Amino acid sequence: MRSVAHPKPCRLSAIAVIIGFALLIPLQTAVVAAGKEGSAETTTKRPNVLLIVTDDMNNALGCYGHPLVKSPNIDRLAARGVRFDRAYCQAPVCNPTRASFFSGLLPETVDVLDNKMAWPKQPPGGQYMPHFFQERGYYTGTIGKILDHKRVPNQPYWNLEIREWGKFPDEEQMAERGRLSERGSSFWAKIKVPEVETGDGFVARRAVAALEREAKQQQPFFLAVGFRRPHSPYAAPSRYFDLYPPESIRLPHSPPEHLASILPAAKNGLAPHEEGALATLRGYYACISFVDAQVGLLLDALDQLKLWENTIVVFVSDHGYHTGHHGMWHKGTLFEQSARVPMIIAAPKKESGVACGRVAEILDLYPTLADLCGLEVPKSLEGISLAPLLANPQQPWQRAAFTVEARIDAEGKRTLVGHSVRTERYRYSEWDSGNQGHELYDHDNDPDEFVNLAQQPAYAETIARLQGLLQARRVNAR
């Protein structure tokens, strides 16, 4: 057992959110924790894991080809690893998608489908990812927003736990602010406190301290670091807004005929007037660059501590985000912008600086990390290891991605469920098992998903095949 010294906390602003205390759980010796997977000696030779998760970040990043957004540090990580260009979440809202990829199960299997549902104490037939690593000799730590803490039971599988909750800044900390619309809680704000006093700034620095501490140990670590931004409110220090002159901001264009034809069930979070949306999009981009700077602190620490040769680094968002796409704002749809996520994996002795166009799910992270660490992948997991794609990103890969969206009303009652399947070429979605409509988009010819082909007879065979994929995945889900 070893004691853990924590750096002195900085003074936190309200936008820094309320950081919970560090919950230290007695650490079993490596010999005991290694269990059936191997001895303490073999455990110490396994690679470390640094899992970086952001909240509500879409693919507006330099390494994904965005012409405006500045993300030099995430781009730097992409240059070290494999950038997945077709990576998708299992649910386009926070609670179910995190329950899914931390359990390694589909949302319907783990039975968490919306933001109101509590997580089971243990996922059906298995363990949550940090529990899996802890039992196999890893020191496990979580800093920031990783799990949805309001709906997750006590977590004895973390050796270090620094929770955070809340997200709104205090009035006196905002130099300037504005709203997306007259109604609703979404707003942007320029923050005038030092970066270290923001929530994500605090999280990054605590994570660096944890890396510095663990680099001196023989035991491998699994460290999960969660950043709140660019989740609303879109609040960041003023200098990140300065990266985006107002005249440079443009909203995505959607043809009027497309906006008029969107299925009612497919709509969620309609965008407000253009002026408010443009200013808010600037705040969203500022938050991406702010998070990017915090990621940079972690990457700098890996450089200085010489950890790259034995550390797997993952960067991922929990789901995508609409910023005017299809005339909508926020998440919670089955369109590409809501379901697609940035995902980068940099692993020792694997490919670096390359893009992978094969379909992947963030559900696959659990088996991938187990595989890369030389651990037996649990048979209960519903994703698969992406390790073969890290060795050869262009190899044949017959996989599809599945996303479920459950709508709830103000009382928490579920009103609608939609399912979507994404292959390399097509996205097919159906609402209420098709009773409230179907959608089919051909990404080879319509990457923006403007033309719904579901009613065209020429695509009946394609739809039947994609329906079969959906049905098979739902039947196999326990």
Query: Contact, 343 vs 315, CB < 8 A?
Result: yes
Parallel, antiparallel, or unpaired: how do β-strands 311-317 and 340-346 relate? antiparallel
Q: By C-alpha distance, which of 89, 94, 72, 130 is closest to 362?
A: 89
Question: Does residue 373 carry a catalytic annotation?
Answer: no
Q: Which helix (H) or strand (E) holds 214?
A: helix 199-214
DSSP conformational letter for 177: E
Cα separation of 219 and 29, whole Å? 9
Instruction: Name every residue whose Cβ is closer than 8 Å to that of residue 424 and which is 6 or more positions away in sequence.
Output: 86, 357, 358, 359, 443
Cα separation of 236 and 229, whole Å? 9
Parallel, antiparallel, or unpaired: how do β-strands 329-330 and 322-323 relate? antiparallel
CB-based burial, 257-295: b 16+ in 10 Å, e otherwise: ebeeebbebbebbebbeeebbebbbbbbbbbbbbbbbbb
Which member of 94, 287, 356, 373 is catalytic?
94
Which member of 6, 10, 66, 149 is catalytic?
149
Cα separation of 235 and 174, whole Å? 9
Instruction: Name every residue whose Cβ is closer than 8 Å to that of residue 106 and which is 6 or more positions away in sequence.
Output: 90, 100, 363, 382, 402, 404, 473, 477
Cα separation of 200 and 237, whole Å? 11
Question: Does residue 94 carry a catalytic annotation?
Answer: yes
β-partners of residue 440 are: 428
- For the annotated catalytic residues, the residue numbers are 94, 149
